[in-house]
């Protein structure tokens, strides 16, 4: 499985099995989107809903709420990003509990919690966790994760 800390246990097991009948651990994917990118996140999540429904999803507050309401995904919701949600996800990532991050950032709008955003992206780099920050990257990452975890 790409990313994550070697030897860290999965948070949740998937309800499906490989060809030999062994349980496959669910991917733990964090989904975050700035206000002007939330529609894009809903679009991408809808496109990959079948795959994402087999994953353990972790999201910041408003993004998670929209994914639940508009896509029908089960999402563990953290605080809103400006209230510490990015830091909560970063802490989970540092503990090996996040396998991939989709973080649709708005580069054209200043964010009051920019240090938190930079800390989360840095944590992805430090812990070698793949992080997509735009729709094209999100599609590539999710397509590959789906291929590796049918």
- Residue partners of 113: CB distance under 8 A and separation at least 6: 81, 82, 86
Identified catalytic residue from 39, 40, 86, 125: 86
Catalytic residue check, 106: no
DSSP 8-state class, residue 63:
H
Residue 58 pairs in a beta bridge with 30, 76
The residues, any chain, with a CB within 8 Å of residue 128's CB and separated by 6 or more, are: 3
Asked if 116 and 146 touch (Cβ cutoff 8 Å), the reply is no
Tokens for 56, please give them.
Answer: 């353990």
How far is 37 from 134, CA to CA, in rounded Å? 9
- For residue 23, the SS3 value is strand
Tell me which residue has tokens 């795959």.
51
Which residues participate in catalysis according to the annotation?
Answer: 86
């Amino acid at each position: 499985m790409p990313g994550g800390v070697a030897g860290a246990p999965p948070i949740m097991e998937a309800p499906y099995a490989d060809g030999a009948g062994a349980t496959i651990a669910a991917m733990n994917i964090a989904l975050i989107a700035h206000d002007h990118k939330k529609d894009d996140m809903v679009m991408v999540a809808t496109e990959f809903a079948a795959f994402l429904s087999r994953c353990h999803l972790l999201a910041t507050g408003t993004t998670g709420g929209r994914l639940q309401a508009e896509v029908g995904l089960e999402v563990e919701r953290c605080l809103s990003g400006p209230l510490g949600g990015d830091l909560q996800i970063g802490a989970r990532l540092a503990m090996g509990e996040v396998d991939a991050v989709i973080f649709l950032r708005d580069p054209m709008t200043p964010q009051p919690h920019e240090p938190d955003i930079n800390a989360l992206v840095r944590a992805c780099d430090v812990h070698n966790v793949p992080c997509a920050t735009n729709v094209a990257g999100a599609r590539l990452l999710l397509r590959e994760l789906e291929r590796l975890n049918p």
